[in-house]
Structure 1
């Protein structure tokens, strides 16, 4: 087994190890299941409306793909994108942040073998103004960056597609479009892992805003592929469920959508549990990496172990 094969094997082992640990967390405490379920109720209803808007945007997008037209693009698709972004900015953002807060705290307690968190402790943390303000600042940074990246990428790729189809479509331009789309998706998933870790850092370490983003970048350095693979799992989960709900026929469509949204909620809860495990693993890998560097002082290693 050569170096690349060994590295790939190690990445897959780490991936399955993180997923296995995350999936075992709910079974360690029924309190965790109850808290995550209660926190997911607002997210469920927010996602129902989000999926409706998303479906409308996908319908317009499919029309653009079938018959590229600048007027349809400007009047329909861009409007749906802006509406989707605004909805994600407040209702969906806040409801998912509530789920993240409960899940991260519960999963962290389980992973570090501490006493399971209680409802009273969760409520006390949620009403802590200073803590909530810091977490909200970090999540707002992440939300604006991630949403902006998605909007700009989607807008550029769609415009490029319209221009290519209308003026100079050939095998080279088609291959270039596919390559750029895949590259943007890979980079987005890599960055999503770092963005999620920054929110975990903000909740567990008390570091907020740009400092949390900077620390997450530092911790995830060298682990980008692991983060990409983890986020790819949940990306495929979400896309697969949405595809089933949107294109599975008209029979039982409402119930299928409700069930799909419920499974998407479950996926988001599990995603944050995975992010907690990934955060702790990144800290361990960072310490190992620093220890292997001869020019680093013991003080630097101690600082990283402390999460500072």
Structure 2
């Protein structure tokens, strides 16, 4: 009996391994043609909007980098030289923020709830042959219809919790550029007027510059320091986002004793309960997709897509947005698989504890 319990626990631990979770999610998605087609059609609106959003984001990042580089190289005169650049950058920042806040978040929420519902139905369905396309659509709509409001509340809670992390990323980047700009890239001078003991005034001029090796060492130390903070924030964000994503899944799939959905802080608390002891695996799963998303965008920013022809820019943006949407589908299917394994493990452990308690009571 003990050996059987140990074998079961070892099997469940193996199922929760992040590589196994990714394999099972990929197999579930690409092993069911009806699920794949349905999720592809559901992701089309998000795909189309993301192309426009990414083009706007590329322009914003390009102008922001020009502005920051201008600060570094023209510290004494950037107020004069970069007025025009600043006037263009601020409206773009506001536009990109508003695009992310309303259309993107809403489309992403609808797409996420659909992916979670459909993959859950297929994952837990023991029917042979597999569900037909019409059946899958009908059951998904029935499941999502009464859960959108709860998912929206949970999503707003997640947005509220994640905002400080995004501000942390922004602060690290801004602080690094500010410190580097203070040391300048060459000699600088400053002047002031002082009063002598007789009441007269005289003019002093100081020329000051960092020694090049000292400056290079200082910049390297600052880069390593801020990079370390950035990586810590990235790891924390990935770990927390695993619980937040499971909270969204709880809002879609579960309901309370009163028959109403579980959402908001209750959903996040329940997801934390399910994922307790498996934070490392959740972190690993989220890191895989976060790094994948960043890696897809980096070539465009590094090779300055904004300076290429419009057709080439749109074509490459469409290509990597398509890959991001595919990664998003696999991510949420993986989250569903991970959620189901964690939930099953918790419920079985709870059942074993109840059986053990009853056995002790009978023995007494």
Q: How would you bin the TM-score normalised by the shorter chain?
A: 0.7 to 0.9
1:54 aligns to what?
57
The match for 1:137 among 150, 153, 175 is 153
Task: Please say if residues 99 and 269 of structure 1, whose CA atoms lie closer than 8 Å, have aligned partners that are also in contact.
Answer: no
Residues of 2 paired with 1:47 and 1:219: CA distance? Answer: 32
Would you say the 8 A contact 1:194–1:216 is kept in 2? Answer: yes
| Cα distance in 2, alignment partners of residues 77 and 147 from structure 1 | 21
How far off is 1:123 after superposition? 2.8
In structure 2, do the counterparts of structure 1 residues 157 and 288 end up closer, same or farther at CA, with 3 Å as the change threshold?
farther
Q: Find 1:101's aligned residue among 106, 109, 113.
A: 113
Alpha-carbon contact 1:11-1:226 (below 8 Å) kept: no
Which residue of structure 1 lines up, in the alignment, with residue 4 of structure 2? none
Q: Which has the higher strand share?
A: 2
Return closer, same or farther for 1:179/1:27 CA change in 2, 3 Å cut-off. Answer: closer
> In the alignment, what sits opposite 2:275?
220
- Give the whole-Å Cα distance in 1 for the aligned partners of 2:14 and 2:91: 41
User: CA shift at 1:100, angstroms?
Assistant: 1.2
Q: Normalising to structure 1: TM-score of the pair?
A: 0.80
**Count of matched residue positions in the alignment of Structure 1 and Structure 2:** 285
Aligned match of 1:176 in 201, 225, 232? 225
Give the aligned CA root-mean-square deviation in angstroms.
Answer: 3.2
Q: CA deviation at 1:13?
A: 8.0
Counterpart Cα distance in 2 of 1:92 and 1:37: 17
Q: Separation in 2 of the partners of 1:76 and 1:146?
A: 28
Residues 74 and 280 (structure 1 numbering): CA distance in 2 closer, same or farther, change over 3 Å? farther
* Rounded Cα–Cα distance in structure 1 between residues aligned with 2:227 and 2:144: 44
Distance in 2 (alpha carbons) for counterparts of 1:77 and 1:281: 46
1:23-59 CA distances to partner (integer Å, 9 max, x unpaired)? 0112342221121011111101121122122212321
Residue matched to 1:280: 340
- The alignment partner of 1:281 has SS state of helix
Structure whose alpha-carbon radius of gyration is higher: 2
1:256 aligns with 2:259: no
Stretch of structure 1 that moved more, 161-170 or 63-72: 63-72
* Unmatched runs of 5 consecutive residues or more in structure 1: 1-9, 302-308
Q: Does 1:92 align with 2:135?
A: no
Matches of 2:64 and 2:179, distance apart in 1: 16
Q: Which residue in 2 is equivalent to 1:32?
A: 35
Superposed, 1:188-199 pairs within 5 Å as 188-199=237-248
**Aligned partners of 2:16 and 2:338 also within 8 Å:** no
Looking at secondary structure, tell me which structure has more helix per residue: 1
